[in-house]
A = this chain, B = another copy of it.
Amino acid sequence: MSDDPLVIFTPSGKRGRFPVGTPVLTAARKLGVDLDSVCGGRGICSKCQITPAFGAFAKHGVTVTATALSEWNSVEEKYDTLRGLPKGRRLGCQATVQSDVVIDVPPESQVHKQVVRKRAEAREITMEPATKLYYVEVQEPDMHEPSGDLERLKKALKEQWDLDVAGSDLRTLQLLQPALRKGKWKVTCAIHHSGIGPAHIMQVWPGFYEGSIYGLAIDLGSTTIAAHLCDLQSGEVVASSGIMNPQIRFGEDLMSRVSYVMMNPGGEEDLTRVVRESMNALIVQVSAEAEIDRELIVEAVLVGNPIMHHLFLGINPVELGQAPFALASSGAVSLWASEVDMVMHPEARLYILPCIAGHVGADAAAVALSEAPYNSDELVLIIDVGTNAEILLGNKDRVLACSSPTGPAFEGAQISSGQRAAPGAIENVRIDPVTKEPRFKVIGCDLWSNEEGFEAATLSSGITGICGSGIIEVIAEMRLAGLLDASGLIGSAEQTGTPRCIPDGRTNAYVLHDAAAAGGPLITVTNGDVRAIQLAKAALYAGARLLMDKMGVESVNRVTLAGAFGAHISAKHAMVLGMIPDCPLENVVSAGNAAGTGARIALLNVSARREIEEVVHKIHKIETAIEPMFQEHFVNASSIPHATDPFPLLNKIVDIPDVNFNVKQGARRRRR
């Protein structure tokens, strides 16, 4: 056994003996310890920070003295002065091994660092981006060895990073010559390697490039386009933003946009143009928010339903509007972002997740990637609520999927006082079952409407309408307060005993808030609003039930609500409305924008792209449009909660009054 000092890395536990004077980074590389470095050990990038531990380590069988590493050197001193090293940290490329030592690699110094997601049950994202930075020293040109600048750069990348690079884009080749000379034959390269095809150099900076590079995860929805801008080195989301999908002016739901194209041949070009224009507005918006040059966005991952997928790519969506709902391409699509006119880095790549089927798109695939039902032991039902609901049901043995046309009601459209989730929108509602008086919260204010200071706090935004999660809560609360019967009728003032129930044509409406005094609107819930939500929730429920039928189960272990909107739905209220199958309330979780998260996972980890490309082939697609049982479930699911399906678990937690307003007042009185 060698007398060389023993080096033990934590948390990996990897260990080995190295001669005195070996840099810690070198030892880490030899042991395969995940320690980052962009500059290749030249004391420039500071990515290889480590923390030596001192003292006796019985567990490891070593005692580490204060002189186990070489003394703090001038490179570390300079770095610390210029940018500051956290206390106790050393640069792994500068500190050398002197005697037995235990070295901790902090998470931010790991190449494959993990990006922690907020939800406890959600899996972490391991950093493995397609585009990475590499600093290299390139051999100067030599007349007697007449290889080109690019060829010497490729040689340097091979020698210094063991990277096989096929070549560069033309633009990078144009930049390379001045960059090498300005950087005195030292450059930093951004190298893209998606794992398919060869790696290539997509950008080059003179010397050591101190900045970062970015990627965009995009969820292209029918109603909104949402984007997360991520730092491709740290994995952090540096800006998030959303924008309305301007195609709404061609039709609120997808089928009306397809109809537009059918009625207006060539109209798909208008739809493509406007969505690409908005995409660019969004790119400008997020890069401004993060204060970065948008040319630093070197790649993007996009998810969306099949019709948005086709329209964004400039493919006629008409085939998706009729059986057999044939996709132009079901596989993942890799292309240059410039091919779809995206204003990012000129050579940025765009990756679009695969579609599951003609009605279950890349957005559903992204939800699957985020929630990974195919890895679950339990049977999990995942509902991505949007203008179309994507529904997944399964576990590690089998996953089923379908899409259900809920319409835009859940997003506040088709609702009389409905609006987008924005400051001023009512998002939470409670109704006192005795007084029938409501209290509510609006977006942008943490107070309930009956709390002190609420009026002052909402003065600037006003109280402008009800957003999607608000409409679900108010209708569910109306049901719990006995203002609404199981068939979906709102009672009159007389029937309910509250003046908040006012006549509205041949039916009634409930006055949630009267801001008329303050110059604001009268915010009511009409019977038309209730009908719209009933149709939407029936479609959702019918889709979920259909999958349960196909799976041959009567209940599920967990329900995950996803979607920009799904994140804000109260599980209890969703169950009161009969949106989701009966399930223990504590097992109903909100996954937030899971499609967006799936896009972010695929952006930060190329292996995840291969994973979902494999998985989509194993997800069995159910076509709701041709399943008679879907219609049957739909019809049965329109009541709140409907009569044919018992909700034993729900009934344990809430007490739903047995009212029926579909009778003459006299008749009701007679029953009393």
Q: Is A56 at the interface (CB under 8 A from chain B)?
A: no
Which residues of the other chain, B, contact A150 by a CB distance below 8 angstroms? 328-331
Roughly how many angstroms separate A334 CA and B200 CA in the complex, as a whole number? 12
Which residues of the other chain, B, contact A148 by a CB distance below 8 angstroms? 326-331, 355
Q: Is A178 at the interface (CB under 8 A from chain B)?
A: yes
Q: Is A435 at the interface (CB under 8 A from chain B)?
A: no
Roughly how many angstroms separate A358 CA and B621 CA in the complex, as a whole number? 59
Q: Is A2 at the interface (CB under 8 A from chain B)?
A: no
Which residues of the other chain, B, contact A131 by a CB distance below 8 angstroms? none
Which residues of the other chain, B, contact A339 by a CB distance below 8 angstroms? 170
Q: Is A460 at the interface (CB under 8 A from chain B)?
A: no
A344-358 contact mask (Cβ, 8 Å, vs B): 1 or 0:
000000000001111
Judge whether B328 and A176 touch: CB under 8 Å. Answer: yes
Q: How many copies does the complex hold?
A: 2
Interface size class of A (residues with CB under 8 A): 35 or more
Q: Is A115 at the interface (CB under 8 A from chain B)?
A: no
Q: Is A143 at the interface (CB under 8 A from chain B)?
A: yes
Measured CB to CB, the closest approach of chain B to A221, in angstroms, equals 21
In the complex, chain A residues 313-367 whose Cβ is within 8 Å of any chain B Cβ: 313-316, 319, 323-331, 333-335, 339-340, 355-358
Which residues of the other chain, B, contact A323 by a CB distance below 8 angstroms? 143
Q: Is A146 at the interface (CB under 8 A from chain B)?
A: yes
Measured CB to CB, the closest approach of chain B to A252, in angstroms, equals 25
A370-411 contact mask (Cβ, 8 Å, vs B): 1 or 0:
000000000000000000000000000000000000000000
Measured CB to CB, the closest approach of chain B to A536, in angstroms, equals 25
Judge whether B330 and A151 touch: CB under 8 Å. Answer: yes
Q: Is A196 at the interface (CB under 8 A from chain B)?
A: yes
Judge whether B324 and A141 touch: CB under 8 Å. Answer: yes
Q: Is A174 at the interface (CB under 8 A from chain B)?
A: yes
Roughly how many angstroms separate A277 CA and B149 CA in the complex, as a whole number? 27
Which residues of the other chain, B, contact A170 by a CB distance below 8 angstroms? 313-314, 333, 335, 339-340
Given A141-B324, A315-B177, A319-B177, A330 contacting B146 (CB threshold 8 A): yes
Q: Is A162 at the interface (CB under 8 A from chain B)?
A: no
Judge whether A177 and B335 touch: CB under 8 Å. Answer: no
Q: Is A529 at the interface (CB under 8 A from chain B)?
A: no
Q: Is A106 at the interface (CB under 8 A from chain B)?
A: no
Roughly how many angstroms separate A665 CA and B563 CA in the complex, as a whole number? 104
Q: Is A644 at the interface (CB under 8 A from chain B)?
A: no
Centre residue among A150, A170, A196, A198 by max chain B CB count within 10 A: A170
In the complex, chain A residues 118-165 whose Cβ is within 8 Å of any chain B Cβ: 140-144, 146-151
Q: Is A242 at the interface (CB under 8 A from chain B)?
A: no
Q: Is A173 at the interface (CB under 8 A from chain B)?
A: yes
Judge whether A143 and B325 touch: CB under 8 Å. Answer: yes
Given A151-B331, A170-B340, A331-B167, A146 contacting B316 (CB threshold 8 A): no
Q: Is A459 at the interface (CB under 8 A from chain B)?
A: no
Interface of A (DSSP majority class): loop
Roughly how many angstroms separate A578 CA and B151 CA in the complex, as a whole number? 39
Judge whether A358 and B196 touch: CB under 8 Å. Answer: no
Roughly how many angstroms separate A146 CA and B334 CA in the complex, as a whole number? 20
Chain B minimum-CB-distance residue to A168: B329
Centre residue among A174, A326, A327 by max chain B CB count within 10 A: A326
Centre residue among A174, A325, A334, A358 by max chain B CB count within 10 A: A174
Q: Is A623 at the interface (CB under 8 A from chain B)?
A: yes
Partner among B167, B319, B324, B333 whose Cβ is within 8 Å of the Cβ of A334: B167
Which residues of the other chain, B, contact A166 by a CB distance below 8 angstroms? 196-197
Judge whether A313 and B174 touch: CB under 8 Å. Answer: yes
Q: Is A626 at the interface (CB under 8 A from chain B)?
A: yes
Chain B minimum-CB-distance residue to A178: B316
Given A141-B324, A328-B149, A331-B151, A173 contacting B358 (CB threshold 8 A): no
Measured CB to CB, the closest approach of chain B to A179, in angstroms, equals 11
Measured CB to CB, the closest approach of chain B to A618, in angstroms, equals 13
Which residues of the other chain, B, contact A174 by a CB distance below 8 angstroms? 313-315, 328
Measured CB to CB, the closest approach of chain B to A167, in angstroms, equals 7
A162-201 contact mask (Cβ, 8 Å, vs B): 1 or 0:
0000110010011011100000000000000000111000
Centre residue among A148, A166, A334 by max chain B CB count within 10 A: A148
Chain B minimum-CB-distance residue to A330: B148
Chain B minimum-CB-distance residue to A177: B328
Partner among B140, B149, B356 whose Cβ is within 8 Å of the Cβ of A146: B356
Judge whether B330 and A143 touch: CB under 8 Å. Answer: no
Measured CB to CB, the closest approach of chain B to A439, in angstroms, equals 47
Measured CB to CB, the closest approach of chain B to A355, in angstroms, equals 7
Judge whether B357 and A146 touch: CB under 8 Å. Answer: yes
Measured CB to CB, the closest approach of chain B to A626, in angstroms, equals 7
Which residues of the other chain, B, contact A621 by a CB distance below 8 angstroms? 146
Measured CB to CB, the closest approach of chain B to A36, in angstroms, equals 30
Which residues of the other chain, B, contact A325 by a CB distance below 8 angstroms? 141, 143, 146
Judge whether B313 and A173 touch: CB under 8 Å. Answer: yes
Roughly how many angstroms separate A530 CA and B589 CA in the complex, as a whole number? 92
Chain B minimum-CB-distance residue to A176: B328
Measured CB to CB, the closest approach of chain B to A241, in angstroms, equals 26
Roughly how many angstroms separate A174 CA and B319 CA in the complex, as a whole number? 13
Roughly how many angstroms separate A315 CA and B144 CA in the complex, as a whole number? 22
Roughly how many angstroms separate A95 CA and B140 CA in the complex, as a whole number? 65
Given A326-B141, A334-B167, A335-B170, A358 contacting B315 (CB threshold 8 A): no
Chain B minimum-CB-distance residue to A331: B151
Roughly how many angstroms separate A621 CA and B142 CA in the complex, as a whole number? 12
Measured CB to CB, the closest approach of chain B to A359, in angstroms, equals 8
Partner among B143, B177, B356 whose Cβ is within 8 Å of the Cβ of A358: B143
Given A170-B339, A358-B146, A151 contacting B316 (CB threshold 8 A): no
Measured CB to CB, the closest approach of chain B to A345, in angstroms, equals 15
In the complex, besides A143-B623, A149-B326, A149-B329, 17 extra interface pairs with C-beta distance below 8 angstroms are A141-B325, A143-B324, A143-B626, A147-B327, A147-B330, A148-B326, A148-B329, A151-B330, A166-B196, A167-B329, A170-B313, A170-B314, A170-B335, A173-B328, A173-B329, A177-B326, A177-B328
Q: Show 10 A/B contacts (Cβ-Cβ < 8 Å), sorted by A.
A: A140-B324, A141-B324, A143-B623, A146-B357, A148-B327, A148-B328, A148-B329, A148-B330, A148-B331, A173-B315
For the complex of A and B, 3 pairs with smallest distance between CB atoms:
A148-B330, A146-B357, A141-B326
